[in-house]
Chain A
Amino acid sequence: MKNLIKDLMRSKAGLIGAILLLLIVFVAVFAPFLDLPDPTRGDLRARLAGPTWDGLFSPGAHPLGTDEVGRDILSRMIHGSRVTLLVATTAVVLGGIVGTALGIWAGYKGGLVDRVLMRLVDIQLAIPLMLLALLVVAALGPSLRNVVLVLALTSWIRYARIIRAQVLSLREREFVQSAHAIGASTMRIMFFHILPNVLTPALVVGTLELARIIIMDSALSFLGLGVQPPTPSWGRMLADGRVYISSAWWTVTFPGLAIVLTVLSVNLFGDWLRDYFDPKTRNKK
């Protein structure tokens, strides 16, 4: 752990990513305790008001302006981050659990199980993920739960492939062979001997997946298939604000910026994490 932090301090990009990400998560978690205007209620008379820093701390100030029905954009952005992060992390964890489990199973068992699962992965890889997500949400109806399910569905294959490749080499290692020789059950070997050794790659895949899923979640809500108004979400804010893009730039600029910064910080952090766990790049330093 000490090593980890020391290495992070040395990597500029990783450090910036980590700080930014921590900040975003912190604000998202503590949003209800910040004294923000209600993100779902607006004042029609104050619609499309521009950003202003006058009277910043007075009630009714809109430092980042208001949207097309007079709601505070700063508050919607912050509350939107809660929704986005909740959806993205749940989907990543869900996809990670399913993908890792199936990857271990396929890699360790081999044979028919492996062939069927990997062909399934191939089939899903051949379908554009956005199309798959659109179809499923359109069929099940837009809701928070369905969006999480859909995003997890598009995510498990990436874990499954990478984990399976790891397991293929782990399977031949002595500690696995010896566990097998003393009569450990397959379940036990997979759970106690293989799983701990694939957690690191799973973690790295997970971080990179997080960035992709945030983008995809925003795309789905941009298309109106994510959480429903008036609940704030970044994609939806972009979609509703784009009509006014040339007369009220703040309606799209700030939610757009939120997506960019979040994804950037996750990617920077994820890249560093990958380098850290990859012996080849770590030893070079």
Chain B
Amino acid sequence: MKNLQKLLSATAVAACMTTSAFALDITIAQTSAVNTLDPHASASVGLDLSVLSHIYPTLLLRAPDYSLQPSLATEWKAIDDLTWQFTLTPDATFANGEKLDAQTVAWNINRVTDADNPKRISSWFSQVESVNVISPTEFQIKTSSPYPALADQLSMFMLLPPEWAEANDPTSETISGFLYEISEYVPGDHITLKPNESYWGDESAKFDSVTFRVIPETASRIASLLAGEVDMINSVPASELARIDASDMASAGAVDSTRSVFIKFNTEKAPLDNKLFRQALNYAVDKDLIAEALFDGRANVSACQVMTPDYFGFNPDLTAYEYDPEKAKQLLEESGVDLSQPIEFELPSGQYLQGAEVTQAVAQMFEDVGVKTEIQSMEFGAYLDKYRKAHDLGRLSLLGQAWATIDADGLLTLFKPGNQYSYWNDATFDQHLIAGGSTTDQDSRLAAYKAATEVMCDEAPVVFLYAQPATYGVSSRVTYQPRGDDWMRAFDMMPAE
């Protein structure tokens, strides 16, 4: 029966090829090159993980509407606060014949939780205590504390075949266990995928080939799309969308992303340790003008929190700080901060959509209320080193953060006292986060995060700005379901009729 299905789908593909042979080879433009082929050595959703999720299987997949869909796992549920149970598709295999069973999943989780050999994504599973294999298609994950976002996190966790991974180097080689396999890889330039003939699932690959091409320049990406050389691009400046849309070759649009952009304060340095000063800066910025003028109204102003409405734990009762320069000046006076010295304002260049423009606009608004700044642009890598390794962030910097599980439990942790990313130590906020993380009961979690966001809004450890729009352009050869969580996948696309 299965063979018959395969034969049928193969004939269907062949039939499509004769009618519209070109429509089935698509090219997706990426802003930078893939760093590694090991899915456990990268947390970069928009880049490495997007490419690899065509090749390696995951237990669950997140659909463009952010719902979790079955993939290798057919069923999953939390049995109690500390236990999750999963049921797998039977008879799934990798291309080399290795079984995709519960044992393989357990091996993969152990690979990243191995304390002696930590991987880039080990922190995702720091709460995982053990994996119990019940049968080849069933297993349980035990956590040390309630981990309500575990299923969401697993939608980003790809599985390697154990025996192959022991004998080969997964950072530079791949083997398929999902819809596609690599047919050509030119590091720094492009990766071409072709359908995996031995794929275990029912659906089949929709395209004959999928090529991920690196085009760092924004203007070149747009030009390539309009010339018909690529079928999908992202990170398009909002004001260029109309121009793309006007062409016959392509259409463009934007959806709300899950990434919030804000001005990060280093509250460990004066004068950002002064609450009145931080609030004053929030009043000084005209968020609506930035959203309207710079983003053509495609960006939504943050509601005094770093979460967007898509997040679990979003607080609908908060509203943004009003734009009130007079109030800002008054608060600055009350704060007693000496405004004669400029404050450094770090800008990771090229990282966030129109980031340099936002930074300069905000710096000008700060200046209008009497706060002098000195912009320092730097490579994103250099910025990350200051942020993460050296723990020496400038007093102001432009930052955009998102959490792939779309849950307050992840995103707010970036502001938790003691977290290396936080630069803000508020005990009350910490208590609410701990309360939110100690249960899987939805209502008590919501109450805890509501309280936490209220504290954060009032204490203002950042200037809340806007949710970065996920802008995209697609060629008229394909249809695309836009999504705001960075994934760029061929399976969100269909050949156009």
Q: Is the CB of A47 within 8 A of B294?
A: yes
- Please state if A44 and B356 are interface contacts (CB–CB under 8 Å): no
Q: Which residue of A lies closest to B294 (CB)?
A: A44
B289 at the interface (CB under 8 A from A): yes
Instruction: Please indicate the chain A residues that have their CB under 8 angstroms from the CB of B363 in the complex.
Output: 230
CA distance A45 to B378 in the complex (A): 27
CB neighbours of B293 from chain A (8 A): 44-45, 47, 70
Contact B364 A244 (CB under 8 A): no
Contact among B240, B290, B377, B378 with A44 in the assembled complex (CB-CB below 8 Å): B290
**A68 vs B290: C-alpha distance in the bound complex, in angstroms?**
12
B21 sits at the interface (CB 8 A): no
Q: Report the contact-size class of chain A (Cβ under 8 Å from the partner).
A: 20 to 34
Residue numbers in B under 8 Å from A48 (CB-CB): 239
Number of A-B contacts (CB under 8 A): 65
Is A69 close to B, CB under 8 A?
Answer: yes
Nearest A residue to B293 by beta-carbon distance?
A: A44
Would you call A244 and B356 a contact (CB within 8 A)?
Answer: no
Query: A58: CB under 8 A from chain B?
Result: no
Interface residues of B in 186-237 (CB under 8 A from A): 217-219, 222-223, 237
* Given A69-B360, A228-B376, A44 and B289 contact (CB-CB distance below 8 Å): yes
What chain B residues lie within 8 Å of A246 (beta carbons)? 219, 222-223, 243
Are A245 and B219 neighbours in the complex by a CB distance under 8 Å? yes
- CB neighbors of A among B340-380 (8 A): 347, 349, 354, 356-357, 359-361, 363-364, 367, 374-378
* Known pairs A47-B293, A230-B364; A243 contacts B377 (CB<8 A): no
CB distance from A103 to the nearest CB of B (A): 37
CB < 8 Å neighbour of B218 from A40, A70, A228, A243 = A243
Residues B356 and A240 in contact, CB atoms below 8 Å apart = yes
Is the CB of A224 closer than 8 A to any CB of chain B?
A: yes
Contact flags A130-145 to B (C-beta < 8 A → 1, else 0): 0000000000011000
A32 at interface (Cβ–Cβ under 8 A)? Answer: no
Interface centre among A42, A47, A243, A245 (most CB of B within 10 A): A243
**Which residues of A (17-57) have their CB < 8 Å from a CB of B?**
40-42, 44-45, 47-48
User: Would B375 and A247 count as touching, CB distance under 8 A?
Assistant: no
Q: Does A212 contact B (CB under 8 A)?
A: no
Within A199-251, the residues touching B (CB, 8 Å) are: 224, 228-230, 240, 242-247
A residues near B217, Cβ cutoff 8 Å: 242
A141 to B364, CA, bound (A): 23
**Given the complex of chains A and B, what is the CA–CA distance between A224 and B376 in angstroms?**
9
Q: Which residues of A contact B239 (CB under 8 A)?
A: 48, 244, 247
B237, A230: Cβ atoms closer than 8 Å: no
What chain B residues lie within 8 Å of A243 (beta carbons)? Answer: 218-219, 237, 240
Contact yes or no, A244 B360, CB < 8 A:
no
Q: How far is the CB of A248 from chain B (nearest CB, A)?
A: 9
CB distance from A169 to the nearest CB of B (A): 48
Chain A contacts with B in 45-103, Cβ cutoff 8 A: 45, 47-48, 68-70
Using Cβ atoms and an 8 Å threshold, which residues of chain A touch B360?
42, 69, 229-230
How far does the alpha carbon of A245 sit from the alpha carbon of B217 in the complex, in Å? 11
Q: Shortest Cβ distance from A221 into chain B, in angstroms? A: 10
B294, B347, B360 interface centre (most CB from chain A within 10 Å) = B360
Separation of A123 and B203 alpha carbons in the complex (Å): 62
B356 touches A229 (CB 8 A): yes
| Bound-complex Cα distance A69 to B357 (A) | 6
Q: Which residue of B lies closest to A47 (CB)?
A: B293
Query: Is there contact, CB below 8 Å, between A229 and B237?
Result: no
Q: Decide: A68 near B357, CB < 8 A? Known: A224-B377, A228-B375.
A: yes
24 contacts between A and B (CB under 8 A): A41-B364, A42-B364, A44-B289, A44-B290, A45-B293, A47-B293, A47-B294, A142-B376, A224-B377, A228-B376, A228-B377, A229-B347, A229-B359, A229-B377, A230-B363, A230-B364, A240-B357, A242-B217, A242-B219, A243-B237, A244-B237, A244-B240, A246-B223, A247-B240
Residues of chain B at the chain A interface (Cβ within 8 Å) = 217-219, 222-223, 237, 239-240, 243, 289-290, 293-294, 347, 349, 354, 356-357, 359-361, 363-364, 367, 374-378
Q: Which residues of A contact B (CB under 8 A)?
A: 40-42, 44-45, 47-48, 68-70, 141-142, 224, 228-230, 240, 242-247
Q: Give me 20 other A-B pairs in contact (C-beta within 8 A), A69-B361, A247-B239 excluded.
A: A40-B364, A41-B364, A41-B367, A42-B364, A47-B293, A48-B239, A68-B354, A69-B364, A142-B376, A142-B377, A224-B349, A224-B377, A228-B375, A228-B376, A229-B360, A229-B375, A230-B360, A245-B219, A246-B223, A247-B240
Top 6 nearest A-B pairs (CB, nearest first) are: A44-B293, A243-B218, A245-B219, A224-B377, A229-B375, A69-B360
